[in-house]
Amino acid sequence: MNGLEEGVEFLPVMNAEKLEKRGPKRWVVVLAVLSVCFIFSLLVGFLVWHFKYRNASVQKLYNGHLRLTGSRFIDAYENSTSSEFAILARKVKKTLTDIYKNNPNVGPFHKETVISAFSEGSIIAYYWSEFSVPKYKVDALDKALANIQASNQATIHRGRNPDLKVESVVAFPSDPDIVKASRDNSCRYALHAKAGEVTSFTTPGFPNSPYSSNAHCMWALRADADSVISLTFTTFEVEPCDLGNDFVKVYDSLSPGEPHELVRLCGSYTPSYNLTFISSKNVLLVMLSTDAKGRYPGFKAEFFQMPKQQLCGGVLLGTSGNFTTPYYPGHYPPSIDCKWDIEVPKHKNVKVRFNEFFLVEEGLQLSSCPKDYVEVNSVKYCGSRDRFVVKSQTNKITVRFHSDRSLVDTGFWAEYLSYDSGDPCPGKFTCQTGRCIEKKLRCDGWLDCSDGSDEKGCNCTETQFRCHNGWCKSNFWVCDGVNDCGDNSDEQQCNCPAGNFKCSNGKCIPESQKCNGKDDCGDGSDEGKCDSVVTVPCQGHTYKCRNALCVSKTNPECDGVQDCSDNSDEDNCNCGKRLFVKKSRIVGGEQAEVGEWPWQVSLHAKDEDNGHLCGASLISETWLVSAAHCFQQQNFVRYYDPKLWTAFLGLHDQRELSDSKVQRRNVKRIIAHPSFNDYTYDYDIAVLELDNPVSFTKEIQPVCLPDASHEFPAGKEIWVTGWGATQETGSGASILQKAKIRVINQTMCNSLLDNQMTPRMMCVGVLTGGIDACQGDSGGPLTSIEENDRMFLAGVVSWGDGCARRNKPGVYTRVTQLRNWIKEKTGV
Ligand code: ARG
């Protein structure tokens, strides 16, 4: 026991201390472990970065073309399923692969190459190549491929044939989506132009069924060597550009590379929009790419081949003449240069007037014109420009035109004219810009020269106000809220004292009362345009939501912003939109385009004339708005009888009443305003019910009706349309006409028109005369373009003192005043 006891070593009391002393050692261990962990994770992190990110491979796609010389093109090469195609493709592919292999920045990353097409010209081979390359090597690969064309010339041994030489290898980085599309063989077409024939093609299913979603279709168009292709889209209707991502691209190549893209099209184009494109060589590629949603009809196109010739530029002699970019008004071809040397008789000077000018490249700004341009007197012009004149101080001038290889437009048409340097505009006034205008336009109070030089240095008459800039303006325009002088001097002395806000009615209120939710002006103008829309007490000029609350904003209906708490201001907004988005740029005179005024109706009466008598506007599938005076008994003809009338909708040309786009309806009911006064023309409004609803199409759409509170301020530009007489004593137009006019201040108009104005009337016109509605336009729409390009019916053509006379604006029924009556009668 003892021995045992001896053997037992009792822990001294101090041991407690010893135990404690072990603590710090453990910390060291923990620390060590932690550091190891840290270093380890750092290492792992690095390795992950190295292998996963730094070394992470990215897919890169290039597409390009190369030329083969030493052999003849055979037709079978156009068919990618032929054995000849396969044999040649294999060889070209092998050569390309070899070229890649010889370059250390390319070879190791090459995954796949596909030869997609051949075209004639010795032989052009189109291909795409796929690479899988670590991120940090991408730049080197880009560079290597950009230079590959210069450094390589290879020879293909082609069986018994003479050696095939590979030249000019070109590669562009390309969009994987597009290459994926070219891989998709389900929607590919190869078409070869037939000599002397026009070949047409359409999107699959056109026009009976819409194109499919997620489609990638390609049409390879070819022509014989030494010809070029002219391609025209005769109908074009794909998803609107802002609604999705469906588009058509045309390439001046058979491979869809951005550098050869001629155009990107989306939306729908009016039939008169010129969609003709010319290739620079004998191929074009058309691609349709669609997204998951939105199904539209698609397009119909036709193409033909024509001999390639340099048909631009040259020497132009004589005293005057015309010249245009090649194929104008079609799109000019890419990659061309033209030079016109113009020379007029010795003792004369020469000027060039560009009447139409479109060299627009999307997203490009105009100052330096780095791409397509026109150059005259060492100044470059590009973009889209209004008519302009360039003069020479001698009898010679040179005009150059350059188009680069991508993105084309319709170009220009220009005139050259010789003139006497002493008298540049014989019998006319010369603007400082060089333009000649009629002498009577000088000092008439209106700007006719774009720089206003026709209104400089004039003596103002006593009925005119002298602007600070020297222009003379009718006294009527002073203090009407519209800046007529251009420098605002006609509105200045009517300004309120500093710190005040000027109401539309002329009243001055302290600035602090603006946008305070209270109508301090009395006409609401201090609350109409505020950052925040507030609910205000309802008054005549405020907009009333369905929940009977009124909002402060002016014209809140259908402006795309919810202003009423119940959103009723954005209800029933399926109106006032044009469905053709792209308008033609070149229209004769003031002819309307198809689909431009889809609410315009032509009313034909079965009287002795049996033709167009009045206009009207479509406001729903069954209701029209027109003028009451069209439906009064006259010379024993009972125009108030609905059976007498036929309504034509979707009509463009009166000679084409049976066009397939036209819908013809009988009139079931005519309700003229009971207060219509056939002496004063007060309350000149009527609504007509159709016997059957029309169906809305691109050519037939309803116009929006403005709320009773809607404002069309003086000075606002508005459009009037109709088939009425084009001159006071003239006859009606067969093609729908349009004219842009301005709202005229009511007080002033009343004095111009011998106090014949009532609150149900509004004056709209151009006081210089020359632009107006006329006989036969009655009942037709006065269309105002508001927020978001939505169009509202501001007025109905009613009467005038003659047509287009100076200081005799046209008079229109004020729709806002009769809005509630329309609602009551039609429910619209
Ligand atoms: N009352 C005419 C008609 O029946 C319309 C006159 C419009 N005149 C004018 N100058 N704006 O067609």
Residues 257-282 pLDDT 10s = 888 899 999 998 888 889 999 999 99
The span from the CA of 28 to the CA of 138, in Å, is 47
Ligand 1 binding pocket includes 779 (Cβ within 6 Å): no
pLDDT tens for each residue of 556-574: 999 999 999 999 999 999 9
**Cα-flanking dihedrals φ and ψ of residue 443, to 5°?**
55, 35
Q: Tell me: the pLDDT tens digits for 394-407?
A: 999 999 999 998 89
Specify the CATH architecture of the domain 194-307: Sandwich (2.60)
Ligand 1 neighbour 809 (Cβ under 6 A): no
For residue 51, CA distances in Å to 47, 116, 139, 473 come to 6, 34, 19, 77
User: Does residue 361 register a pLDDT over 50?
Assistant: yes
C-alpha of residue 447 to centroid of ligand 1, in Å: 27
Neighbouring CB atoms inside 10 A of 677's CB total 14
- Our answer on whether the CB atom of 724 is closer than 6 Å to any ligand 1 atom is yes
> Which residues belong to CATH 3.30.70.960 in the chain?
57-174
629 counts as catalytic: yes
| 39 CA to centre of ligand 1 in angstroms | 91
- In the numeric block, the tokens 């058509």 are attached to 248
Write the single-letter amino acid at 492.
Q
Name the residue among 283, 276, 412 with its Cα closest to residue 338.
Answer: 412
d(CA 94, CA 80): 17
> For the residues 21-47, what does the mean pLDDT come to?
74
812 alpha carbon – ligand 1 mean position (Å):
9
Atom of ligand 1 nearest to the CA of 614: 12
* Residue 400, pLDDT score: 96
Residue 227 near residue 304, CB atoms below 8 Å: no
Domain 57-174 indexed as CATH 3.30.70.960: yes
Q: What is the pLDDT of residues 514-546, one digit of tens each?
A: 888 788 888 888 888 888 888 888 888 889 999
Q: What is the mean pLDDT of residues 213-223?
A: 90
Token pair of 185, please?
Answer: 């063989």
Nearest to 145 by CA among 62, 78, 85: 62
More confident residue, 325 or 162: 325
Integer-rounded Cα radius of gyration of the chain = 37
Window from 234-248, 314-328, 354-368, 631-645 with minimum mean pLDDT: 354-368
Average pLDDT over residues 346-355: 92
Lowest mean pLDDT among 321-330, 390-399, 604-613: 604-613
Q: What does the pLDDT average to over 86-94?
A: 88
pLDDT value for 160 = 44
Backbone φ and ψ of 3, nearest 5°:
-50, -40
Instruction: Locate the ligand 1 atom nearest the alpha carbon of residue 776 and give its number.
Output: 12
Q: What value does the mean pLDDT take over residues 572-596?
A: 81
Ligand 1 centroid, distance to 476 Cα (angstroms): 24
CATH number of the 600-826 domain:
2.40.10.10
How many angstroms separate the Cα of 603 from the Cα of each of 249, 559, 703, 780? 42, 31, 17, 10
How many degrees, rounded to 5, is the angle at CA 357 between CA 354 and CA 362?
160
Q: For 717-724, what is the mean pLDDT?
A: 94
Name residues whose C-beta falls within 8 Å of residue 222's C-beta, 6 or more positions apart in sequence. Answer: 78, 119, 120, 190, 191, 192, 193, 229, 254, 282, 283
How confident is the model over 736-748, as a mean pLDDT? 91
* CA 381 to centroid of ligand 1, rounded, Å: 43
Amino acid at residue number 716: K
- CATH 2.40.10.10 residue ranges in the chain? 600-826
Candidates 119, 778, 784, 798; catalytic one: 778
Q: Are strands 216-222 and 188-192 parallel, antiparallel or unpaired?
A: parallel
Phi, psi of 533 (to 5 degrees): -90, 125
- pLDDT at residue 661 tops 50: yes
**pLDDT at site 277:** 96
Every domain range in the chain assigned CATH 2.60.120.290: 194-307, 313-424
Pick among 3.40.50.920, 2.40.10.120, 3.20.20.70, 2.60.120.290: CATH of 313-424: 2.60.120.290
pLDDT of 340 strictly over 90: yes
Which tokens sit at 412?
């220009």
Kindly state the helix (H) or strand (E) to which residue 294 belongs, with its residue range.
none
- Report angle CA 743, 747, 749 to the nearest 5 degrees: 55
Quote the pLDDT of residue 24: 59
194-198, 380-384, 549-553, 585-589: least confidently modelled range: 585-589
pLDDT in tens, 109-165: 888 888 888 988 788 889 888 888 888 888 888 888 777 754 445 555 544 444 667
Active site residue 684: yes
Report the atom number in ligand 1 closest to the C-alpha of 629: 4
52 pLDDT higher than 70: no
pLDDT at 3: 41
**Given a cut of 70, is residue 48 above it in pLDDT?**
no
> Which entry of 569, 684, 707, 772 is annotated as an active-site residue?
684
Q: What is the pLDDT of residue 720?
A: 95
pLDDT of residue 51: 59
Which atom of ligand 1 sits closest to the CA of residue 805? 10
The SS3 assignment for 111 reads strand
Tell me: pLDDT of 588 over 60.
no
Please say if the pLDDT value at position 315 is more than 50: yes
**Any long-range contacts for 97-104 (C-beta under 8 Å, 24+ apart)?**
98/154, 99/148, 99/152, 99/154, 99/166, 99/169, 100/129, 102/152, 103/144, 103/148
Please work out, in degrees rounded to the nearest 5, the angle formed at the alpha carbon of residue 572 by the alpha carbons of 567 and 573: 90
